[in-house]
Structure 1
Amino acid sequence: MPRTFPPVSLIGVPTDIGAGHRGARMGPDALRIAGLGEALLARGVDVVDTGNVQGPANPWIEPVHGYRHLDEVVAWNRALMDATAAELAKGRLPIMLGGDHCLAIGSITAIARHCRQQGKRLRVLWLDAHSDFNTSAVTPSGNIHGMPVACLCGIGPDELTRLGGEAPAITPAEVRQIGIRSVDPEEKKLIKDHAVDVYDMRYIDEVGMKRTMETALEGLDADTHLHVSFDVDFLDPSIAPGVGTTVPGGPNYREAQLVMEMIADTGRMGSLDIVELNPVLDRRNRTAKLTVDLVESLFGKSTLMRD
């Protein structure tokens, strides 16, 4: 029988406040124009577009005390945290349309708090070319889109680590990172010290994507909320050029489809981030259209009916 999915709420977050390039603020509209809502409706999913979260403009200034645009990043993430919590309370599956990846601090903080309230375990799948486990001491840029996993794990400024009132929001043991292929030298040590579970591209090359996903998804059960944080630069830039931080050697189209289909097979996905889509760098909305195609697979699209 076809799988049923909970009702979905699209939450646009039009900002590039944590990024090193302008343009991700247009990501939500690019996904809408590419037909994300219509594609999910066609799959029988109940979809409501809640519109866009509002926040401060990007001042585009240099870092202060190691963090770029910290006050503005906090404001956007707090607004998203509240919007995400509101949709979860209604029993809906929130899909955050970013925007840059710093926004995962707000979405995942809300989701982690919801899981604690519901007595559920949390599993975060971080699909990305980057580990995003930087700190202000490690990265000279100060761009906070390189820090969300560290902040969520309690490493960073109090304004972000305690966004939801508790720190850490999550632990490294709740995270599985897939597709990683760009990690700063000192960030590697932080990842090792905190035992972050990383399946980099070498691992994927050696064992294959199927085995990688089986391992990353192992242990999910009815008491697990699965959150997928999908950075579009997870994909190889040959198929997804519309991102600000392209890294060669990522998953190809078929590997990416397998990732999404195996996530769908679990039936456990309860929330989703889509981030770092930058239409300024795209070609005729190609990357947005591909992203919509992959999200359809997260919601059960496959070549054949499978048990």
Structure 2
Amino acid sequence: MRNEISIIGVPMDLGQTRRGVDMGPSAIRYAGVIERIEGIGYTIYDEGDIEIGPAERIHNDPETNLKNLKAVAEGNEKLAGTVDRVIEEGRFPLVLGGDHSIAMGTLAGVSKHYDNLGVIWYDAHGDLNTGETSPSGNIHGMPLAASLGIGHPTLTNIGGYTPKVKPENIVIIGARSLDVGERELIKERGIKVYTMHEVDRLGMTKVMEEAITYLKGRTDGVHLSLDLDGLDPHDAPGVGTPVIGGISYRESHLAMEMLAESGIITSAEFVEVNPILDERNKTATVAVALMGSLLGEKLL
């Protein structure tokens, strides 16, 4: 882990239709993310927030089945440029969302610096939809597919190249809500997935041991994309698409602690914090605590 960290806020709420997630970066800052990470011993550079242009809330484009395609793509292009610059300057990018569509920009900025980037997708959802398979047309359900080079060219070519990641370099953890098209894609491409069945049956320790070993042997860097709806809504209520029966607060800390010990994480993002749907900023506070564990914070 690099000693200098750049925090990048992305107030994106155009990848879905529930308002409020654009305030996620502010909520996470209010929950003390800078003070928490500085307390571990890192030097923090706050890059501020990526400017997200306004977009008229529209129904699905009948030709693409995608909402706010242009505005989402433009915001992600800006994010990709910032992440690219941060890595060039030798700092660890820590991206604060915003809805999960921002992962397209993060991965576009990160992947060009690695020959075999790995991705841990910590999420209740696979985010492997395309315009053809999505029931809603919400782009926040498509960033992993787009990063694989699957979907609309405007999304797959963010950053000027495609793909950003290979299917065999992905591990999804905590899945419990997958659409039909996503299930087919997972089987077709051989993507490694630990659903909540595996988390329950094997335990988080075994899941993380296997995931870390799997990625260590095939990648030269690993990006963590953590959607707060990967956690159970009891622990993280302030998310737009909660799914009951999720990963617990303590299991999530264990996962982050094991990733810290492994030393494989080279970039990270925490997304889908929606303070309007939250309880006294509980979800942002959880996000900050998990960031602390990921970055090596210890009780003793």
Q: Residue 156 of structure 2: which of 156, 161, 167 is its match?
A: 161
CA distance in 2, matches of 1:222, 1:147: 25
State the secondary structure of the residue aligned to 2:29.
helix
**Structure 1 residue 55: Cα displacement:** 2.1
CA distance in 2, matches of 1:202, 1:231: 19
Partner of 2:107: 108
The amino acid that maps onto 1:244 is G
State the secondary structure of the residue aligned to 1:303.
coil
The aligned runs of 1:289-304 (5 Å cut-off) are: 289-304=285-300
CA distance in 2, matches of 1:68, 1:89: 33
The amino acid that maps onto 2:294 is L
Q: Which segments of 5 or more consecutive residues in structure 1 lack a partner in the other structure?
A: none
- 1:35-77 deviations in Å (ceiling 9; x for gaps): 0011000111110111111121142211112111000111010
For the aligned residues, what is the CA RMSD?
1.4
1:132–1:148 contact (8 Å) kept in structure 2: yes
The aligned runs of 1:174-185 (5 Å cut-off) are: 174-185=169-180
CA distance in 2, matches of 1:69, 1:226: 29
Q: 1:46 to 1:222 in 2, by over 3 A?
A: farther
The amino acid that maps onto 1:32 is R
CA distance in 2, matches of 1:295, 1:140: 32
- 1:64-111 deviations in Å (ceiling 9; x for gaps): 121110001110100000010010000000111111001100101111
Q: Which segments of 5 or more consecutive residues in structure 2 lack a partner in the other structure?
A: none
1:7–1:46 contact (8 Å) kept in structure 2: yes
CA distance in 2, matches of 1:149, 1:294: 22
CA distance in 2, matches of 1:151, 1:288: 27
2:174–2:247 contact (8 Å) kept in structure 1: yes
Moved over 4 A (4+): none
State the secondary structure of the residue aligned to 1:114.
coil
The aligned runs of 1:34-73 (5 Å cut-off) are: 34-64=31-61, 65-73=64-72
- 1:271-303 deviations in Å (ceiling 9; x for gaps): 111110000000110111111111100111233
Q: 1:135 to 1:256 in 2, by over 3 A?
A: same
Q: Which moved more, 1:89-98 or 1:166-175?
A: 166-175
